[in-house]
Amino acid sequence: MRFRFQPPIQLSSSGHHLLPLPTPPPFLSSSPSLSTCSISHHHRLMFSTFLLLGTTTPMTLEKTAVNLLSFWNCHSSSSRCTSSFGIAFDIDGVILRGQNPIGNSPAALKRLYHDYSGNLKIPFLFLTNGGGTPESRRAFEMSQLLGVKILPSQVVQGHSCFRSLLKRFKNDFIVATGKGEPELVMSEYGFRNVISLDDYASYFDNIDPVAQYKSWKVKQESNMLPFSMKSIQDVSLDRVKAAFIVSDPVDWGRDIQVLCDILSSRGLLGGEEEHQPPLFFAADDLQYQAAFPSERLGIGAFRIALESVFNRIHDMPLECTVFGKPNPFVFRNAEAILRHIWAFSCHGNAIRPEDEDSSSHSFTTLYMIGDNPLVDIKGALQAGHPWFSILTRTGVFRQTENHAEYPADVVVDTVAEAVDFILERESAP
């Protein structure tokens, strides 16, 4: 499999205040976690993106600012944060296991807010490779589960980076797959012509030869979004311009079959075999911690399965672009978002683009609290200053000693201990 990188995009556009990020990618060519794939030098273009404020598109930063301000209400100096540090929390295996809070996470998070006002004291966000739900809904769910008010802008999911591809595929016919509502996720980012793989497959009789043996129904027709209700002609004659793996696929067999169909026929089922349409993965986790006691296969395992099958039946190796941690690009993006959270919570006003106030703010330390050495800790190590990694023992990692290949700066049992450590360290003279 070869990875393809997208070209830099314009970082600010009309009506949107979009902040540039440093140009990343040398890391990707030498990234061990990506070593199963060779890099196409023709396609090794620079990664770049805009601020991934987790809002529904096309919400502008100005609207987001109002959103932030109304929540934090940080106009009085007494409720301003003075923090020169910020925190990124992994979700699965650190904050939650399945739907259950772990490691005393609700109490740990409460410590990041002012007791008396409920306003944010320490800038933090969730940096997860999971997804399948729009950021706004995920923020609401997290607020319910954890008992603190989480804003959409504080939720960065694996697929949040797909926003950076909007310009390229805004009106193109694209397919999206994964648990949850991949089609809704993509449409909220602004992609106008997206169809879920579930719906796409339903237009082709017998495309899945074992469908009759599956006891589940993948989707109710009434749930289909209006724009995905196309005629069979529309779908069968419309070339798929790109495929997006938004979250962990549910029906691996069907998805591998249909993706092989799409990718081997230049996006037009039954078409001639030519160069494949672009394929994007929201993350590449081989395993992750879900509700089951031991790790579960993740989106990266699905990539390996798809790649193995595709490469056995085609001469040209599969090409794809992978987002998510551990790419340092994700950490730089998180840093930019945390600067905005810091700016809004500390200054209580929107930052004018010309001031570049938030972008000039530099954190002395940004803490990444994660459970997966190969994803969270490796990412923080690669991102370098100001990132500081804290590894918990509540998820993928369970060992007594530090991880040998990607040692964290600190190893603790739980996220509550991690927050203890941070607050003590930061309050020390």
- Site of interaction with ligand G3P (CB under 6 A): 90-93, 128-130, 248, 283, 285, 288, 298-299, 372
Q: Where are the alpha helices (DSSP H) in 170-292?
A: 182-189, 197-202, 232-237, 252-264
Which of 177/372 has CB closer to ligand G3P?
372
- Residues of this chain that interact with Mg ion (CB under 5 A) are 90, 92-93, 371-372
Cis bond before residue 317 (omega within 30° of 0)? no
Least separation in angstroms between residue 131's CB and ligand G3P is 7
Which of 196/392 has CB closer to Mg ion?
392
| Residue 128 interaction partner, one of Mg ion, ligand G3P, none, beta carbon < 5-8 Å per kind | ligand G3P
Least separation in angstroms between residue 328's CB and ligand G3P is 16
Centroid of chain to Cα 131? 7
Which of 59/161 has CB closer to ligand G3P?
161
| Residue 182 interaction partner, one of ligand G3P, Mg ion, none, beta carbon < 5-8 Å per kind | none
| Residue 129 interaction partner, one of Mg ion, ligand G3P, none, beta carbon < 5-8 Å per kind | ligand G3P
Least separation in angstroms between residue 307's CB and ligand G3P is 18
| Residue 248 interaction partner, one of ligand G3P, Mg ion, none, beta carbon < 5-8 Å per kind | ligand G3P
Q: How far is residue 102's CA from residue 85's CA, in Å, rounded to a whole number?
A: 24
Task: Pull the structure tokens for residue 122.
Answer: 């320490």
Least separation in angstroms between residue 98's CB and Mg ion is 12
Least separation in angstroms between residue 112's CB and ligand G3P is 18
Least separation in angstroms between residue 45's CB and ligand G3P is 26
The sheet with strand 174-177 has its strands ordered as 38-39, 2-3, 319-322, 279-281, 242-245, 174-177, 194-196
| Residue 283 interaction partner, one of Mg ion, ligand G3P, none, beta carbon < 5-8 Å per kind | ligand G3P
Which of 90/198 has CB closer to ligand G3P?
90
Which of 46/297 has CB closer to Mg ion?
297
Q: Do 255 and 264 meet the contact criterion of CB atoms below 8 Å apart? A: no
Which of 93/328 has CB closer to Mg ion?
93
Residues 6+ apart with CB under 8 A from 247: 130, 131, 132, 158, 159, 178, 179, 180, 182, 282, 299
Output the furthest CA–CA distance in the chain (Å, rounded): 69
Q: How far is residue 232's CA from residue 202's CA, in Å, rounded to a whole number?
A: 10
Least separation in angstroms between residue 88's CB and ligand G3P is 10
Task: Pull the structure tokens for residue 226.
Answer: 């209006």
User: Of the candidates 311, 364, 395, 338, which has an alpha carbon nearest to the alpha carbon of residue 122?
Assistant: 338
Which of 61/286 has CB closer to ligand G3P?
286
Q: Which residue has the tokens 């602004």?
A: 190
